[in-house]
Structure 1
């Protein structure tokens, strides 16, 4: 389930202005569905729930690991724990990961982006 990393939805990072109703608002646009956010752009991400969170669906993060200091995963409305297999994969990539509800991940993304930090985020859309 690799995302097309050649075609970003937005070719730059942007603050997330709003989330909910199954999508996000950022960069003067509205997107329905989940997102992968990086310093080099924002992509549509086909993941709709935690059961689809795999090393394959996160491959774009691992491919950028050397250019990131932090990676956030917003997994929906409720707190959750990152499965050990994924935690191990992030550790092998030497990439610090934090799992949290989508709202907290959006707020953390915005803060770290405003601080010019090298951050990435996988944000699962919530209703």
Structure 2
């Protein structure tokens, strides 16, 4: 009997460092949105202080079904987005977990491996 490793149809975060994240081995130096359905999209925000409600509002519509959870990677240190920025997600009963971006990368990989519907919003500050 031959055994084959499962190859998921989604992106995996393969490494990260200060100012970058590698997704499936390809290095990215700007903030990213990753979904468990395989989308990889530029987030368009490079500083925590510049985050607006519309940065978060678009996350609910990235997948064919709303995500169970949004993993927010807040940069090199843990910071929480103001509740007003998350109001749209909370109104749709989508959970938001905040952590530093390195922890968010690890958590995203675990949740995707479990088959969960998740979006990772990863802030990469330059």
TM-score, length-scaled by structure 2: 0.81
- Displacement of 1:126: 4.7
Q: What is aligned with 2:15?
A: 18
Q: Structure 1 runs of 4+ off > 6 angstroms?
A: none
CA RMSD of aligned residues (A): 1.9
What is the CA–CA distance in structure 2 between the aligned matches of 1:43 and 1:29, rounded to whole Å? 13
Aligned pair count?
116
What is the CA–CA distance in structure 2 between the aligned matches of 1:16 and 1:47, rounded to whole Å? 19
What is the CA–CA distance in structure 2 between the aligned matches of 1:52 and 1:118, rounded to whole Å? 27
Of structures 1 and 2, the larger Rg is shown by 2
Q: What is aligned with 2:58?
A: 60
Decide whether the 8 Å contact of 1:109 with 1:121 is kept in 2: yes
Q: Does 1:80 align with 2:79?
A: yes
Decide whether the 8 Å contact of 2:74 with 2:80 is kept in 1: no
Decide whether the 8 Å contact of 2:56 with 2:85 is kept in 1: no
Q: Give the gaps of 5 or more residues in structure 2.
A: 1-8
Greater Cα shift, 103-112 or 63-72: 63-72
TM-score, length-scaled by structure 1: 0.80
> In 2 relative to 1, CA 64–41 (structure 1 residues): closer, same or farther, beyond 3 Å?
closer
